[in-house]
Amino acid sequence: MYLADRTWPELGEYFAEESLALVPLGSTEQHGPHLPESTDHRIAEALAREAAERTGFLCTPTINVGVSPHHRQFHGTMWVEPGVFRDYVESLTRNLTYHGVDRVIFVNAHGGNVQHLREVGRRLRDDGDAYAIEWMWDESIPDLVDDLFEHNGPHGGPKETAMMLHIADELVREDQFERARDDGIRNFEDYEGARKFGARTFYDAIDNTECGVIGDQTDATREKGAELFEAACDQLVRLAEWLDEQAYEDLMPREHV
């Protein structure tokens, strides 16, 4: 069920029976010369809406702009400051609790959001208002990602490229795959410029890659994207069903020993 497409009486019927919501979040930021800046939030929304369709749970509108200042040097990247993002997501989630939702899955597709969503979840849980957890699609299927791609890369690589070929292939610039690979970093694990003596020495993506890409996109296909999407969606469905079955008091903080 997609919240924005329903009437308030229809939503009242949902809230009378259910208390779980899926909130998709991503970013609007550079993903190299081959992928649109909507990549992250399109992946999050596609997964959340499909999982909602399969389970009957509620999916909210997508939060399209996240914490992305580390991509700011590339044209068009949008971001909000971390504190603003946390406060906004918390306020939105408290809005859901007003309607009776007490458990939320942040369906996330942007690494820069992770720690901030975890912090929001802690705030809500500590206050006893809701149990909200962050879910990152590729972290739910790490073995499959590794099996499908030799150089999957953390940003703009073949896993995101394959997903976008499956979700919105008309937005993927397939003629730019080789440029993205050659002007970026194919294998980040072997890249020595990112660390010195155990310390991370970079703050922005452009410190490492002139085209903003890490990974080898030439290994991405629509078929692999479909496989990734189905596997990740299955994990999200299972998570939602598990969370729905939990007693609320078991999700709240335990008493001091």
Tens of pLDDT, residues 196-247: 788 888 889 998 889 999 999 999 999 999 999 999 999 999 999 999 999 9
Query: Could you give the CA distance from residue 33 to residue 214 in angstroms, rounded to a whole number?
Result: 12
Picking from 53, 55, 54, 64, the residue whose alpha carbon sits closest to that of residue 24 is: 64
Over residues 83-111, the mean pLDDT reads: 98
Largest CA distance in the chain: 60
Residue 122 pLDDT class (50, 70, 90 cuts): very high
- 98 token code pair: 């007003």
Cβ neighbour number for residue 100 with a 10 Å cutoff: 14
CA angle 164, 168, 169 (to 5 degrees): 80
Query: Could you give the CA distance from residue 55 to residue 8 in angstroms, rounded to a whole number?
Result: 20
3-249: CATH number:
3.40.50.10310
pLDDT of 64 = 98
Q: Kind of pairing, strands 199-200 and 195-196?
A: antiparallel
Question: Which string of b and e fits 14-25 if b means at least 16 CB within 10 Å?
Answer: beeebbbbbbbb
Over residues 124-146, the mean pLDDT reads: 97
pLDDT of 248 = 96
Picking from 100, 77, 74, the residue whose alpha carbon sits closest to that of residue 27 is: 77
Number of H helices, E strands in the chain: 9, 6
Task: Tell whether pTM > 0.85.
Answer: yes
* pLDDT tens-digit readout, 22-43: 999 999 999 999 999 999 999 9
Residue 71 pLDDT class (50, 70, 90 cuts): very high
Distance of alpha carbon 103 from the chain centroid: 18
